[in-house]
Amino acid sequence: MRSLRTGAVELVAPALLVVATGLFGLVVSQTTEIYVVTALISVSTVVAIYVFVGNSGVLSFGHISFFAVGVWAAGVLSVPVAEKPATMPYLFHFLGSRTVGNVPSLLIAAAVGGVFALVVGLPLMRLSGLAAGIATFAVLGITNNVLRYYEKIGPGLNTFSSVPETTGLLQATVGALAVIVAAFAYQRSRLGRQLRATREDPAAARAVGVSIYRQRLTSFALSGFLAGLAGGLYIHFIPINVDAVYLDLTFITLAMLVIGGTSSLWGAVVGALFVSGLDSLLAEMEGGLTVLGHTIDLPEGSRIVVVSSVMALVLILRPSGLTGGREFSLPSFGRRTAEAK
């Protein structure tokens, strides 16, 4: 049994790390601050994915679709009405005729992500193993295909422009903290524990009356909600197009989760910050690069060469991630020994 104290540590450690990252952003230059904000948004994204993948043990390639619909929802709704015809001339009337503020657009992004995940999860959560992985991949493919060509709901192939850039250090930090608190509350709740039981031993969990389907569905929807929020945060930070929310982002976010350690909240946060830090460092080294950490539609590609090599290396040397998939705990800190299988 874990005591209340270790429980608190498990929440406080990742939260402190995020706050420290945010504070670090305050003292550095404008360019570095952009990296810090990117890293904080990555934390939100990776923790959102972790809520499902980490707790259920089922791999999902589909979470960037929930991120993407969050980007679309927040982006389309918060562009000023007068600016919309420039990049999005074919919008549905109800989308084209109104503009919402920063906070409502984030909440709508999260809600759209959550509802989409729920709808997708209703049939898909009956699957497991490889079938589930490929089916979530198929969802990603469909989402990307529709967002790319269906111009009544967004800019299609155009890049979003004129979205108010409200995500700065403060909003990115608060967003990451909110996602972490939600993930923590979920994994300590009755629902989260039931889901984790199905991860450890499906047969035993079922034997004590846990419905695998229902638990996975709940977690999938919550996970989609948080991913949608992360998408909203992202589009309020930087203008992107549909290519930025497809395979590359799927890869880099999964890489962050795996490098950190899939099965713990601490791992998700550490992985996101570690890879973002590495990525920013490489970007600085490449020189002249001023924008975001993880879309690679840049002519320079050496960053992704290093990041994917590091990822392969971590997998080979420490398959359970940098944190060993464990939560942060005080006694073992500094002298962690054998890792969990």
Q: How is residue 272 written in tokens?
A: 């996101």
Taking the complex as a whole, the smallest distance from the CB of residue 258 to another protein amounts, in Å, to: 5
Question: Looking at 36, 304, 323, 328, which residue binds another protein (CB under 8 A)?
Answer: 304
Q: Which stretch binds another protein (CB under 8 A): 19-27, 43-51, 142-150, 183-191?
A: 142-150
Q: What is the DSSP string of 213-263?
A: HHHHHHHHHHHHHHHHHHHHHHHTTS---GGGGSHHHHHHHHHHHHHH-TT
Q: Taken in order 41, 47, 53, 57, is the CA torsion positive or negative?
A: positive
Q: Is residue 153 within 8 Å of residue 95, measured between CB atoms?
A: yes
* Side chain identity at residue 315, one-letter code: L
Question: Looking at 95, 107, 181, 315, which residue binds another protein (CB under 8 A)?
Answer: 315
Return the number of the residue (16 or 134) whose C-beta is nearest another protein.
Answer: 134
Tell which residue, 96, 132, 328, has the closest CA to residue 213: 132
- According to DSSP, residue 288 is labeled S
Output the CA angle 84-63-91, nearest 5 degrees.
Answer: 20
Return the number of the residue (139 or 240) whose C-beta is nearest another protein.
Answer: 139
Question: Looking at 49, 69, 139, 282, which residue binds another protein (CB under 8 A)?
Answer: 139
Q: Is residue 163 within 8 Å of residue 75, measured between CB atoms?
A: yes
Q: Is residue 163 within 8 Å of residue 101, measured between CB atoms?
A: no
Question: Looking at 15, 115, 118, 127, which residue binds another protein (CB under 8 A)?
Answer: 127
Return the number of the residue (59 or 217) whose C-beta is nearest another protein.
Answer: 59
Tell which residue, 11, 20, 10, 64, has the closest CA to residue 173: 20
Return the number of the residue (142 or 291) whose C-beta is nearest another protein.
Answer: 142
289 binds another protein (CB under 8 A): no
Q: Is residue 336 within 8 Å of residue 324, measured between CB atoms?
A: yes
Return the number of the residue (80 or 301) whose C-beta is nearest another protein.
Answer: 301
Taking the complex as a whole, the smallest distance from the CB of residue 333 to another protein amounts, in Å, to: 25
Distance, CA of 85 to CA of 317 (rounded, Å): 52
Write out the binding residues for another protein, residues 228-257 only, by CB under 8 A. 247-248, 251, 254-255
From residue 85 to residue 124, the character string flagging contacts with another protein as x (rule: CB under 8 A) and all else as - is: --------------------------------------xx
18 binds another protein (CB under 8 A): no
How many residues of this chain bind another protein (CB under 8 A)?
42
Return the number of the residue (47 or 110) whose C-beta is nearest another protein.
Answer: 47
By CB under 8 A, name the binding residues for another protein: 59, 123-124, 126-131, 133-135, 137-139, 141-142, 145-146, 148-149, 247-248, 251, 254-255, 258, 262, 296, 299-302, 304-305, 308-309, 311-312, 315-316, 319
